Amino acid sequence: MALKKSILWFKRDLRLSDNPALVAAAQSGEVLPVYIVEPLSSSEFERGSASKIWLYHSLKSLNSTLNNHLNIYTGDPVKILLDLTQKHQIETIFWNTCYEPWSRENEKRLIENLKSQSVSYDFFNGTYLWKPKEIKKNDGTPYKVFSAYKREAWRLSPREPLEIPGTLSLIKDTDNQTTVEHLKPDPVPAWSKKITSFWDFGESAAQKKLKDFTQKGLQNYKKGRDFPDHNNTSCLSPHLHFGEISPHQIREALKSAKESDTPKEDLHHFFSEITWREFSCYLLYHFNGLPSDNFQSKFNHFPWEENPAFLKAWQTGMTGIPFVDAGMRELWQTGYMHNRVRMIVASFLTKNLLIHWHKGRDHFWDCLVDADLANNSASWQWVAGCGADAAPYFRIFNPVTQGEKFDPEGNYTRKFVPELKNLPNKYLFKPWEAPEKILEKSDIVLGKTYPKPIVDLKKSREKALSAFQFLKNNPLDS
Ligand SMILES: Cc1cc2nc3c(=O)[nH]c(=O)nc-3n(C[C@H](O)[C@H](O)[C@H](O)COP(=O)(O)OP(=O)(O)OC[C@H]3O[C@@H](n4cnc5c(N)ncnc54)[C@H](O)[C@@H]3O)c2cc1C
């Protein structure tokens, strides 16, 4: 008797272990594994440049673990899946669900079509610990405050991770001409070389990173996570975004770390950050305007300023504020930026420069290897002050004192702003205050070898605070 055939539609779950859709597909018979690159016009948020590089390498790795049986297509996923269903006599389509608005729309369209054609389907929760629709306040409305959300979420036990299916009988669509190589960014941007030398891609790299982190970085996470030159953050964000690892597997690793005496406060704090990821997705699910609309509508009247020269200086790490420039250059060189520094550069853009958070969001979207619609949108809104449970607007990070506190030896700043490497720590974060003699001795000519600050931090802070007053006094305030 011929085996039943199914499609496994890979989305943001580019792994074999702990993949509920894969397990279900494998149990049902032969599997046609599919990845579909959607047309760029289908979404306002076209995949960014760094993200495309990651996707290419990640699919390459997945294809190799599937013994070159990954079938890649480009186009409308619904049409492609329906065509494949006909062509290969598919009985069921399986996938792990995603929550980006365009993904939800596609999944909805697919389901409607499958129902009308009597093809069965099943989808699973493979990307997040908790399903966003399952967590609600007593009155049935969604949470808007993280601490309350977390309390509720932590009471629910997520499922245990799943093993890779023992047998996998894979189908190759031999007529299909598209291969992973068609997704190689062409021309390969020069900066992508730096990104590829900095990261290892794919499921086994993600597992190794988790292991190294739980053995070496997790101890002291709570304190160390704020210092960009410490190895106390996991750098798992791009692996999590593309689903090379699941949050369930991370939770499992934390349980083992607990048994090996990792301090409770570090475990809790790390799991709390994983819960922030869940909360961002939860917000996106319940408030699908999150990527573009101010969560607090009173910010619709905020007096943002247009300043292309300032924006360019910020993007290129040439603001003359060393800690900000170090962060922006880290992003440019590695496709990543440490969380503490992300908050500082975002605060500098939206508050000291009064530039709209959309501009920062877009730059991060293009440059981050972990660019994630939910996390990026929620985090930008949080820093700008207009988000759910946001930082109060008047909390404006001072990039000088932040640098002194969180990069006390200056290792991080000197690494990414080498033109300041000879400057003593005392002036490293504020070279404009250094006496002429010291600048000369350090081979620095401000305005030539390194920019003068594009704004005065104190004055720009005051200006931001008065803009905030405008917001408070605006009669259109809601
Ligand atoms: C302006 C701004 C933009 C951001 N954009 C993104 C983005 O596009 N994609 C993204 O994954 N993160 C984003 N973040 C959140 C955070 O900075 C990164 O998740 C984190 O720096 C990734 O490094 P890590 O994996 O070493 O984190 P760890 O400290 O090791 O944390 C583990 C995991 O928890 C999650 N996490 C940690 N902090 C947060 C947070 N504040 N919000 C949501 N999830 C979190 C991430 O998945 C991360 O991989 C942004 C933060 C800011 C301030």
Instruction: Decide if 357 is catalytic.
Output: yes
Closest-CA residue, ligand 1 atom 43, reads: 277
Radius of gyration of the chain (CA): 24
Characterise 335 by phi-psi region: left (phi > 0), alpha (psi -120 to 50), beta (else). left
Residue from 149, 267, 273 whose mutation best tests the ligand 1 pocket (most atoms within 8 A of CB): 273
Q: CA 24, 25, 29: angle at the middle one, nearest 5?
A: 120
User: And the tokens for 460?
Assistant: 């720009």
How many angstroms does the Cα of residue 378 sit away from the middle of ligand 1?
10
Class of domain 128-159+205-286: mainly alpha
DSSP H or E segment with residue 430: none
Between CA 40 and CA 233 the distance in angstroms is 33
Instruction: Decide if 304 is catalytic.
Output: yes
Domain spanning 5-127, CATH architecture:
3-Layer(aba) Sandwich (3.40)
pLDDT at 228: 98
Instruction: Decide if 380 is catalytic.
Output: yes
Distances (CA, A) of 207 to 217, 306, 377: 14, 44, 27
The catalytically annotated residue of 113, 300, 339, 474 is 339
pLDDT at 41: 53
Distance linking the first and last C-alpha atoms of the chain: 66
Q: What residue spans define the domains of the chain?
A: 5-127, 128-159+205-286, 297-471
Between CA 155 and CA 410 the distance in angstroms is 42
Class of domain 297-471: mainly alpha
| pLDDT per residue as tens digits for the range 373-384 | 999 999 999 999
Find out whether 98 and 127 touch, Cβ atoms under 8 Å.
yes
Instruction: Decide if 273 is catalytic.
Output: yes
- Pick the closest to residue 291 from 361, 344, 351 (CA basis): 361
pLDDT at 45: 79
Sheet holding 5-10, edge to edge: 71-74, 30-37, 5-10, 92-96, 120-124
Task: For the chain of 478 residues, list the mean pLDDT of each consecutive stretch of 10.
Answer: 90 98 97 90 76 96 98 96 97 97 94 94 97 96 96 96 96 96 82 86 98 95 97 97 98 89 94 98 96 93 96 98 98 96 98 98 96 97 89 88 98 98 98 98 98 98 90 59
**Residue 160 contacts by C-beta under 8 Å, 6 or more apart in sequence?**
248, 252
Residue from 379, 381, 383, 386 whose mutation best tests the ligand 1 pocket (most atoms within 8 A of CB): 379
| pLDDT per residue as tens digits for the range 176-209 | 999 999 999 877 777 777 888 999 999 999 999 9
Residue corresponding to tokens 């790795």: 61
Q: Which atom of ligand 1 is nearest to the CA of 274?
A: 34
DSSP H or E segment with residue 3: none
Find out whether 165 and 26 touch, Cβ atoms under 8 Å.
yes
Instruction: Decide if 339 is catalytic.
Output: yes
Residue from 128, 232, 370, 386 whose mutation best tests the ligand 1 pocket (most atoms within 8 A of CB): 370
Find out whether 158 and 129 touch, Cβ atoms under 8 Å.
yes
**Residue 87 contacts by C-beta under 8 Å, 6 or more apart in sequence?**
173
